[in-house]
Structure 1
């Protein structure tokens, strides 16, 4: 039995995800788990999707080893050590390779491609939580049942792969130089013969999306969630708004703003480009006036005029990264890291104290002032500062040694 995660939108605009079998019937306990444990905790739809994908992998493991956790728990039988080991090993498989075209579970072979350790770790963490939930409802209550279930969950978690601390080489080491970003922006300039698209309105939209990401450090979800009403053309500002489960958004996989709401200042020239896109191009696209989202689909088809989807934006970035070898590292989050790097440099030039810099950065990025997230995005700049400080010490030592020899 091959399962799939199905997402749908309620009349109120709320997004739901369920795990269904090959007939489209929802699986009872996963649906109950999502409703009682995840939606009750106000977890995001994307978090729920990830959890259901892990449970989908767990059911593939059950099918392969002819296990039925629900029946086992009802019979007061928990998992044995070798079964937990098989779960650990099975969770290394990429999800798309777990079933054959005929819907049968494919055996795990040692030489097959494996998922990253972080992926395997997250799957087993979710499965451990689900098994606690399931056993808590089906395992007969005895004086020792709670302790036995806790021991099982602890065993599963103990079999998660060890994830080493991040090495010196991390995402902050992979960055795009200003010259590369300038080249990308030039390639996207409307009217440029090297532009990957032919339609002028599409060229204008794509160039504007890239410029906004570069100059604001917005996340992809924040960019695709922008509405015309968020822009104050008199004050030259844009407001980042959280719109989870918006009933006016036709996208089933709605882009979400993960961070806090905030007001972000923009230069008049950029505001002018935004106004020009709205007046000259966006408002002439059929269907675009039915909603307020800024960036819309320009290509003909059933989604003409709809807000751009996550997948549509992903294709746009893929197109850019394939234009030249030096663009290969281009992605929305790389631009977010680069924005933070430039922000740090400007704060240094303006003499902003580290404490003040963290507060400013946290507000502009939508983080809590007490969040440590800023350290992740500032790592590249700190490493450069550390390098300059060390070089200064070495040069000072060499000058001192030279002076002593001359004396």
Structure 2
């Protein structure tokens, strides 16, 4: 559970803590989302400190923010954190910054990031001020004045949020699954005995199991690291893995806990993957010092603690940099895109109707809505649409060569 802490006291700020605990957390937001919300609130508090504004007093008294202050806050939210901190330090006289040499050196964050910050600030001010407003129900005149000023301030912030439109989708350059040649190459080099395997001998088998699970099941890295041994049923030739949602898991010692963003589900395992998991659990994992102290499947080779998200990123980075021929965009999430492309190919071969394919895909991916598939089907959609276009061209060429009418 993240908190916004004032460095000078080491204590969480009261109003942001009230907002994050009573407003955001009960709605089922993941810890990473809550952390992003609080990071957005850092901007409004840094801005207030830089401008000498007592934000809590403004909200309690009903003074809120002026239109000029809202416009200034809007500009401040477009800065990188380092630049925002530098402006605060300069404002309080701690340091004198040299002016930037040119406009090209002035950096601003992407508009969507700025929009998200303003949206979080809007929610924070709206919720916090609603509590103060509710205390004035026995004072009608004060309630009316407070509500009027509050409504104006919120509308000014809201208009800034609405002014930043979400950009239209542009598939060019968006993340896609791996090409067939890249998949073959990746599956070959992750074999523990492959001469080009880039990992240390003591982690090769573990990393082999991790990549196989992500490639064969299409699970996220957070779902992978959240799997416990009891989630694996390996009796018989084909086993299963259950992907659970365990927010705020008290048994997970990791500060940045891996989280499952999708629904819980039971996934069947192929024969080879069942054998690999059995070998990892029975023969490899118990030999790692400290691994028996917790139930998580994937552990660190150095101390046996549950593996961190950053170590998965490091593993993918080593594959990209040390194995010639693998694409530079290779990541754990690209493997999820790759699984979706493979699933589409399998459905094409079986002739499964589109609506049935969408239901099956949503169930296996743990999605609540079928629309979630769009982001993972860019390569498949491009391949299918290009195939239809080529067939149209071939038909037109035949008609032109035979002199048949174009129908």
TM-score, scaled to structure 1? 0.87
Q: Give the corresponding residue for 2:263.
A: 260
Q: Give the corresponding residue for 2:79.
A: 93
Change (3 A) 1:277 1:31: same
Q: Give the corresponding residue for 1:183.
A: 185
Shift in Å, 1:195: 2.7
**Structure 2 counterparts to residues 260-339 of structure 1, below 5 A:** 260-299=263-302, 304-323=303-322, 324=324, 326-339=326-339
Q: Distance in 2 between matches of 1:21 and 1:246?
A: 26
Shift in Å, 1:337: 0.9
Counterpart of 2:364 in 1: which secondary structure? helix
Between 85-94 and 256-265, the greater mean CA deviation after superposition: 85-94
Deviations 1:332-371 (A, max 9, x none): 1111111111111110110101111011101100012x43
Deviations 1:116-138 (A, max 9, x none): 22211111100111111233344
Shift in Å, 1:104: 6.2
Q: Distance in 2 between matches of 1:24 and 1:167?
A: 44
Shift in Å, 1:193: 3.9
Q: Give the corresponding residue for 1:192.
A: 194
- Whether the 8 Å contact between 1:296 and 1:307 is mirrored in structure 2 is yes
Counterpart check, 1:118 vs 2:120: no
Q: Give the corresponding residue for 1:21.
A: 6
- Whether the 8 Å contact between 2:229 and 2:295 is mirrored in structure 1 is yes
Deviations 1:204-231 (A, max 9, x none): 1112111111111101111001111111
Q: Give the corresponding residue for 2:139.
A: none
- May I ask how many residue pairs the two structures share in their alignment? 384
Q: Give the corresponding residue for 2:170.
A: 167
Q: Give the corresponding residue for 1:8.
A: none
Deviations 1:267-299 (A, max 9, x none): 111111111122222111111111111110002
Between 34-43 and 92-101, the greater mean CA deviation after superposition: 92-101
Q: Distance in 2 between matches of 1:145 and 1:66?
A: 22
- Whether the 8 Å contact between 2:62 and 2:149 is mirrored in structure 1 is no
Counterpart of 2:266 in 1: which secondary structure? strand
Deviations 1:236-280 (A, max 9, x none): 111111122222211122111111111111111111111112222
Counterpart of 2:29 in 1: which secondary structure? coil
Q: Distance in 1 between matches of 2:89 and 2:258?
A: 31
- Whether the 8 Å contact between 2:262 and 2:367 is mirrored in structure 1 is yes
Q: Give the corresponding residue for 1:201.
A: 202
Q: Give the corresponding residue for 1:129.
A: 123
- Whether the 8 Å contact between 1:129 and 1:153 is mirrored in structure 2 is no
Q: Distance in 2 between matches of 1:334 and 1:227?
A: 24
Q: Which runs of 5+ in 2 are unaligned?
A: 137-141
- Whether the 8 Å contact between 1:88 and 1:124 is mirrored in structure 2 is yes
**Structure 2 counterparts to residues 77-92 of structure 1, below 5 A:** 77-92=63-78
Q: Which runs of 5+ in 1 are unaligned?
A: 1-15
Shift in Å, 1:182: 2.7
Q: Give the corresponding residue for 1:373.
A: 372
**Structure 2 counterparts to residues 43-82 of structure 1, below 5 A:** 43-82=29-68
Q: Give the corresponding residue for 2:361.
A: 361
Q: Distance in 2 between matches of 1:325 and 1:57?
A: 43
Q: Distance in 2 between matches of 1:293 and 1:121?
A: 38
- Whether the 8 Å contact between 1:241 and 1:261 is mirrored in structure 2 is yes
Q: Distance in 1 between matches of 2:78 and 2:400?
A: 57
Q: Distance in 2 between matches of 1:169 and 1:290?
A: 47
Change (3 A) 1:104 1:202: farther
Counterpart check, 1:148 vs 2:149: yes
**Structure 2 counterparts to residues 195-234 of structure 1, below 5 A:** 195-198=197-200, 200-234=201-235
Shift in Å, 1:44: 2.4
Q: Distance in 2 between matches of 1:362 and 1:405?
A: 45
Counterpart of 2:241 in 1: which secondary structure? strand
Shift in Å, 1:101: 12
- Whether the 8 Å contact between 1:184 and 1:327 is mirrored in structure 2 is no
Change (3 A) 1:214 1:88: same
Counterpart of 2:242 in 1: which secondary structure? strand
- Whether the 8 Å contact between 2:232 and 2:240 is mirrored in structure 1 is yes
Q: Give the corresponding residue for 2:253.
A: 250
Q: Distance in 2 between matches of 1:286 and 1:193?
A: 28
